[in-house]
Amino acid sequence: MQDASELILPELSRNGRLQGRTAIVTGAGSHGELAGTGAAMAILFALEGAQVLVVDVDRGRAEHTLRAVRAVGGTAEVAIADITVPDMCRSAADFAVERFGSVDVLVNNAAIAPDESTTSDELWQRVVDINLRGAQLMCDAAIPHMRQAGGGSIVMIGSIAGLRGGAGVAYSAAKAGMIGMAKSMAFTHGRAGIRINVVAPGHVAIPMGLGYSGAGWDGEVNAREMRAQAGLSGTEGTAWDVAYTALFFASPESRYVTAATVAVDAGTTEVMPIVMLPYLAGSVGSYSTSG
């Protein structure tokens, strides 16, 4: 894949919050101008002083992000890996140590969100394999390095689909599974100085989520406007909102926070749905219960 365009970046901080650390971000590839969360974290973490390993199964997408990191003066390398293959996960983590000297931060961001309106065992297995088992395999690859170094921080990019119904069944199961995995791993590795937290994005404007408006709406739906109105601020979130939350978990500022899940959703999952209806009404046609 060859992109002519490059990612559009907002004004970003450079406060050295990850100075001297090495961060692996899975699924950090990108395409076009709109950053996904993986690309946003790779760029922000690099600007904050980290050496970043961009892990992705797609070389074109990985190199697109690499160019963006280097364009802002950051340090990064690419590792092409399918996170469902244990050897590839190990090679990626080993490469980070070989190239940068450590693995201090691992972000499990790689995921797929296919249409699940027609389910099958194959689809279930693929979604759970990438979105849940892949995260486990990357943890298995990175944790020995973290233990040897005396600690580290793992950030799982979950989803509000792991907290509330409304998305695909396998996708939701995998994202909910990440939360259980994080809590259990936080216990298992806590005394080794390893913290594990979950960032659960809501309806943020990233390539993966654009267009999602839930099932059952008839007529004209302005999906982006509706998703903005579902939150308490009435504004759309971005990949950078997710990246700044992950930055806190990645950095030593959160040293006393582990096994936590934070939704980055402008309160969407904390409010009674019916009180939001007046806000949502302007962006949709009508709702069909047969939907």
- Footprint of ligand NAD on this chain (CB under 6 A)? 26-27, 29, 36-38, 56-58, 61, 81-84, 109-113, 130, 134, 157, 159, 201, 203-204, 206-209, 239
Q: Which is nearer to ligand NAD, 64 or 189 (CB)?
A: 64
Minimum distance between the CB of residue 69 and ligand NAD, rounded to whole angstroms? Answer: 14
Q: Where are the beta strands (DSSP E) in the chain?
A: 22-26, 51-56, 75-80, 105-108, 152-157, 194-201, 204-205, 217-218, 237-238, 261-264, 286-287
Q: Is the dihedral of CA 112, 117, 121, 122 positive or negative?
A: negative
DSSP-derived letter for residue 26 is E
CB distance 15 to 47 below 8 Å: no
- The CB density around residue 181, as the number of other CB atoms within 10 Å, is 22
Closer to ligand NAD by Cβ: residue 3 or 82 = 82
Nearer to ligand NAD, 105 or 157 (CB): 157
Catalytic residue, chosen from 171, 244, 279, 287, is 171
- Choice between 57 and 69, CB closer to ligand NAD: 57
Closer CB to ligand NAD, 190 or 214, in the complex: 214
Pick between residue 75 and residue 213 the one whose CB is nearest to ligand NAD: 213
* Backbone conformation region of residue 89, classed left if phi is above 0, alpha if psi is from -120 to 50, else beta: alpha
| Distance, CA of 218 to CA of 80 (rounded, Å) | 42
Say how far apart CA 255 and CA 252 lie, in whole Å. Answer: 5
What distance in Å separates the CA atoms of residue 85 and residue 60, rounded to the nearest whole number? 20
- Residue 192 DSSP code: G
CB proximity list for 40: less than 8 A, separation 6 or greater = 238, 239, 240, 242, 243
Rounded distance between C-alpha atoms, residue 257 and residue 259, angstroms: 7
Closest contact distance (angstroms) between CB of 223 and ligand NAD is 11
| 279 carries an active-site annotation | no
Rounded CA gap, 53 and 102, in Å? 11
Active site positions, annotated: 171
